[in-house]
Chains A and B, each alone.
Chain A
Amino acid sequence: MLKLDPIWQADVQQTNFRLLLDAMAYPGRRFTLHAVRNEGHAALSVLATLLDAEVTLSDPYDLLSSDDWPMLQAKATSADKADYVLCDASQLPKFFPKLGTLSDPEQSATLILKVNKLGKGEKTLKLSGPGIKNIEILTVAGLNTEWLSKRDDWVCAFPLGVDMILVDDQHVVALPRTTKVEVV
């Protein structure tokens, strides 16, 4: 009777969750999300997959609509306290995310950055670290490099740090805190 968008259905969320795990295991590698139908939907699909009522979310760039919030069920909070922060990568970072603590480094934020395009674009990134054989090259459109310089500060005291998930209109690329990123 009630037709739910596939991104809210368990089978699609399980598939996308598996895909996000693979993305985290292979930083810089581009994965195509399932059941994404239009622009802006991919970031929502990632949030729908990761969030539930037990976690907090911040949307400092007002990228979500008021209808999305009750569906995501996550509690709204400020960006410096949130477990997940949805960000507009073309703009400047304007908050200091949770980095976790030495005893609980997992209590840090995951940043979901909306970019214009993954695999094409004006910025070329050279990635290295765990999960990458030698180096991985990633090109991105619509990423303000200030995010990467801020990220360098946020992840400099491992195991503290943040994990980033870059999302365009259909794809995701993960940048866990262990990945070294250089702008070429």
Chain B
Amino acid sequence: MIQRTAWVSALKALPTNKLLALTTKLSEEWTLRPKLLPQSGLGMMKLKDSAFNEAFYLGEFPLATAWLEVTTPDGHKAEGAAQVMDDRVDVAEALALCDAVLSSQLPGWEKVYNLVEQGVALNEKTNGERKMMLARTKVDFSMLDNVGDENAEA
């Protein structure tokens, strides 16, 4: 089983319409109740500069959060939450729902897990491509040792 901490990033890697289509279908007969007000906005990344150790804001990034409770028709309850770098509340809600479905293995969890596996594979592929690109930019400075100083006086 893929770890819970990887679920959101895996699902986020997939096309949003695929995720929303599944969660809308899954939750058709369920009651969803917010545990926290779902919100989207801007997060601020605070860092400290290395010279004076003073705090500064590197920049803003979109942030959406959701925490909800799911009740199935047979009375089973589950909770899920998500915090994502996205400006869409419905995406955070869908991810929170997937978190609830997977953590409590509610009906249909296999479909969600299948999406998680697809997302993990996609993330691995993207990471592999990035590593290759990074490897290509590597400069081997050791070759410089073999070159003599041309300007040196004989």
Contact = CB atoms under 8 A, between A and B. Distances in A.
B35 A4 contact: no
Interface residues of A, number: 9
How big is the B interface, by class? 10 to 19
A122 B24 CA distance: 52
The prevalent SS among residues of A at the interface is loop
B32 A1 contact: yes
Nearest to A8: B37
A16 to B, nearest CB: 15
Interface string B70-100: 0000000000000000000010011001000
Interface in B34-85: 34-38, 66-68
A2 B37 contact: no
B37 A1 contact: no
B34 A1 contact: no
Nearest to A72: B37
B32 A71 contact: no
B34 A4 contact: yes
B27 interface: yes
B32 A3 contact: yes
A1 B23 contact: yes
Give the top 6 A-B pairs by smallest Cβ distance, nearest first.
A2-B93, A70-B36, A2-B32, A71-B37, A1-B93, A70-B35
17 contacts: A1-B23, A1-B24, A1-B27, A1-B32, A1-B90, A1-B93, A1-B94, A2-B32, A2-B34, A2-B93, A3-B32, A4-B38, A67-B35, A70-B36, A70-B67, A71-B36, A71-B37
Interface of A: 1-4, 8, 67, 70-71, 73
Interface of B: 20, 23-24, 27, 32, 34-38, 66-68, 90, 93-94, 97
